[in-house]
Structure 1
Amino acid sequence: MTTVLKGLTVMNTRACHQQGTLSRLLMERGATVIEMPLIRVEPVNGLDPSVFYNACQEADVIIFTSVNAVNAVLDLLNPIVDRDFMIASLRYKRIAAVGSKTESALKKLGIEPEIVPARFDAEHLAEAVVNATSVKERILYPKSKRARSTLHDLLKTSGRQLTEVPVYNTVEDWEKQKELISVLENDACDVVTFASPSAVHSFFHQAAQMAFAKNLMFAVIGRVTEEALSGYVDPSRIITPDTYTIEGLVGAIQEYKKSTG
């Protein structure tokens, strides 16, 4: 327990089931945390588990770009395939993963990702997959319904056989809008954190027309999230870590706190 963030109030906007790590790391450093989930994760309706299971069996390589994708795949197949059996079958596939949390989630299941890019973005993931695969291999990409087309475009351009299946969706969560507005109206927050473009858009949709305090800062994970936020606020108000992880985000907030005294 340290006090490097004492006196700083930070808003955690991640989905309820994902807030724990960020809140804990911030509080361990002395920050006051406001948990304000602005998005939630939902399954995609209408997916046929049997069809998706066959796609998994036929794939040579499976790409996971988030912990949500890992969980969504297992949840989708749970009604028709024993979970332990499915996990065991994934161990025999070539697995690509982006992000330390995604890699960690897979390893906890005993699944060792073979293809992991040095930088956690679609461009570097595509490069790593292309370098590690041939055009004959079949690639399955279970993804978010809101995923950008970057990975698809780069893999298709390289001639890879790619099957994409949206297995989950992120939607705006307005349950705490009144609380959000109250916090902002009373200038009760110093830093708002975002881990996805979806959270950025949800925040500004819910706080539309509000004038924010001039000293309110925003901390983000990832270049795409930063780009989304840049459409709403001046870049000088954005805190961006060098490493696109929760730990990197907290470190960047610490550096901001030091720089402002």
Structure 2
Amino acid sequence: MAEERRPVIAIMRPESYREKSKVLAQDYGFEPIYAPMIRLEGMKDEGFEPFLQRVLTGMSDYVIFTSANGITFTLNKLSETEKKNFITSLKKTRVIAIGPNTEKELIKIGIDNSFLPGDYSSEGIVEALCPEVKGKTVELARSAFGAKVLIEGLEKCGAIVNETHVYTLSIPEGTDQKELIERTLAGEVDAFAFTSSMMVKGFMKHAKELGSEETIKESLNMAVVGAIGTPTGNTLRKYGINANVIPDEFTFEALLKAIKNQL
């Protein structure tokens, strides 16, 4: 008896997530095709040293990390002594993690009492912290493409918000990306897992470069398209693509589970 065909899913997360993403997709019964549409690159802006000093001297009331990458790229900029002192200072600060993956990364470095909002999103953080942040100093260490809603929302609640960009995003070029577009156009991909707006933009940029910006939409709308979070779903819609699946929990595993249920 022939083995049942596994649905093919496009995974477009950064290269560093390749192995664990493929294993997780296979565990959920998918045949993954991997083509990174985002590249993560560390950066250090003029806000980093003041951010570091505020945390070390106890001036910061809250430190918010909106991704595990934000934690990693923050620590990568520190010497071993600075790292140790920074983590010690974080333990005396109210640390906010946007979701379970960010929380796990904090636990790895010894921060085991971080706060997670009920809704794993920027809006969820604003809603959870609004009643208590008036006059408080709030730090954000995140990507250069972070949503403005977090800063604007907390400032409306009376917080003093400082932001430092610890990494940036770019769109990689290569054969993996070209192959994914070609297989999409050929109708060989059953599902797509979009985990950020930047990922959508990267995908569509590659489609446009192959002269397939319009026809790719038809292919996507015939498949199951999953998005993490409403902002990613809205970006897809701006390109004329329907997000069939937006899980309540903003994690990659929850997205895989929701796509599998939809299929």
TM-score (norm 2): 0.87
SS of the residue 1:120 aligns to: coil
Structure 2 residue 186 is the aligned partner of structure 1 residue 186:
yes
**How do 1:40-189 residues align onto structure 2 when only pairs under 5 Å count?**
40-47=39-46, 50-57=49-56, 58-78=59-79, 81-131=81-131, 133-175=132-174, 176-189=176-189
Q: Which amino acid in 1 is paired with 2:236?
A: L
Question: Cα–Cα, structure 1 residues 104 and 46, in superposed 2: closer, same or farther, change >3 Å?
Answer: closer
Instruction: Please state whether the residue corresponding to 2:64 is helix, strand or coil.
Output: strand
Give the corresponding residue for 2:205: 205
Residues 210-225 of structure 1: pairs in structure 2 closer than 5 A: 210=212, 211-212=215-216, 213=219, 215-225=222-232
Q: Distance in 2 between matches of 1:119 and 1:49?
A: 28
Partner of 2:250: 244
What is the Cα deviation at residue 171 of structure 1? 1.1
1:180–1:152: structure 2 CA closer, same or farther, 3 Å change rule?
same
| Identical residues among aligned pairs (%) | 25
Are residues 156 and 68 of structure 1, via their aligned partners in 2, closer, same or farther at CA, if it must alter by over 3 Å? same
The worse-fitting range, judged by mean Cα deviation, of 44-53 and 133-142 is 44-53
Q: CA offsets per residue over residues 197-248 of structure 1, 9 Å max, x none? A: 000110001112421335233211111111111112342x532222221221
CA distance in 2, matches of 1:246, 1:173: 21
Q: Give the gaps of 5 or more residues in structure 2.
A: none
The residue type equivalent to 1:221 in the other structure is I
Kindly indicate whether the alpha-carbon contact (under 8 Å) linking 2:133 and 2:154 is maintained by their aligned counterparts in 1.
Answer: no
Runs ≥4 in structure 1, deviation > 6 angstroms? Answer: none
Q: TM-score, normalised by structure 1?
A: 0.87
> What's the offset of the Cα at 1:155?
0.9
CA–CA separation in structure 2 for the residues paired with 1:160 and 1:128? 13
Q: Give the aligned length.
A: 251
Instruction: After TM superposition, give the deviation of residue 89 of structure 1 in Å.
Output: 2.5
The Cα shift of 1:46 comes to 4.6
- Structure 2 contact 45–164 (Cα < 8 Å) conserved: no
Aligned-partner Cα distance in 2 for 1:82–1:191: 44
Cα distance in 1 for residues equivalent to 2:206 and 2:229:
22
**Partners of 2:26 and 2:239 in 1: CA distance:** 28
Between the aligned partners of 2:247 and 2:186, the Cα distance in structure 1 is 28
Tell me if the contact between 1:99 and 1:120 (Cα under 8 Å) persists in the aligned partners.
yes
Question: CA, structure 1 residues 168+113, in 2 after alignment: closer, same or farther (shift >3 Å)?
Answer: farther
Helix, strand or coil at the partner of 1:10: strand
Contact 1:96/1:129 (<8 A) preserved: no
Return the offset for 1:84: 3.2
Deviation string, structure 1 residues 113-168 (Cα, Å, up to 9, x no partner): 4432101111110121223x343321111121111110111111111111111111
Which has the larger displacement, 66-75 or 38-47? 38-47
Question: Unaligned regions of 5+ residues in structure 1, if any?
Answer: none
Whether the 8 Å contact between 1:53 and 1:77 is mirrored in structure 2 is no
